[in-house]
Amino acid sequence: MTNKRILFINQEINPYLPANPVSSLGKALAVGMQGHGFEVRTFMPKFGNVNERRNQLHEVIRLSGMNIMIDDNDHPLIIKVASLQPSRIQVYFIDNDDYFQKLDTDEDAVGSNRSDNDERAIFYARGAMETAKKLRWDPKIIQCAGWISALVPMYMKRMYSDDPSFKGTKMVYSILPGKISAPIDERFFAKLKEDGFPARDIKKFQSLPLDTNLLHRMAIDFSHAIVVADADIDPALLEYIKSTGKPCLLPEQIEAGGMDAYADFYNSL
């Protein structure tokens, strides 16, 4: 089974967050791929809307405890886990009170309107990769879904690709419905440089608008393959994906084939 392991780094999963197209797909895809013979584990942020008691979350001490520095500030990484019923798929929650607690100003369950969404994406990417490394589970495919996971492919390629846990791992990025509704911090690229990314990695992106499509473009460039799970994707972004020549699963293929289309796509990688 080790050659058919998929790690899903999700934005939302139902029932931990209310049902919507993104959270419902997060659950359906994990369960569906398990049904197609894949061994599956999943990550998502522990947003403040997640009810720990009802969903029986508990902290994983061996995975928790490190601090992640962003913009000269330390942020503790806490990892919690639950089992997705009835499939019993393990769901690991990336938790930090600075970034994922529920705020009165949040316009949705993931806080798409927050001014610190750039740092939240950085923290989630680093927290997810550090946790995946500690698991020593050796996934053959890492599937990132949603804008909050968009920096994972970049961190994977530049900071974790030499780790034995990720030898030969294919990175897939899935574009989902939903956008950041607040501008991305103008110091976003400076924060990435402080985190060790060379100028060559970010130079081509600095002329782009600081919006959701920027994050998508960064994920596309550092991924091996792309899934377009948003039927209303920006046509210019879709053309950019096609111009890369990378393997791509398109909305019409998903609509026609459902979970079989996903399984065939992952097997092809």
Sheet of strand 78-84: strand arrangement: 58-59, 78-84, 89-95, 39-45, 5-9, 141-145, 170-175, 225-228, 248-249
The predicted structure's pLDDT at residue 129: 96
CA–CA gap between residue 57 and residue 92 (Å, rounded): 9
Below-70 pLDDT ranges, the chain: 1-2
The predicted structure's pLDDT at residue 2: 57
What's the fold here for domain 2-268? Rossmann fold (3.40.50)
The predicted structure's pLDDT at residue 1: 47
- Fill in the amino acid letter for 108: D
pLDDT tens per residue across span 189-243: 999 999 999 999 999 999 999 999 999 999 999 999 999 999 999 999 999 999 9
Cβ proximity of 249 and 259 under 8 Å: no
Domain limits of the chain? Answer: 2-268
User: In this structure, how many other beta carbons lie within 10 angstroms of the beta carbon of residue 231?
Assistant: 12
pTM to 2 decimals? 0.96
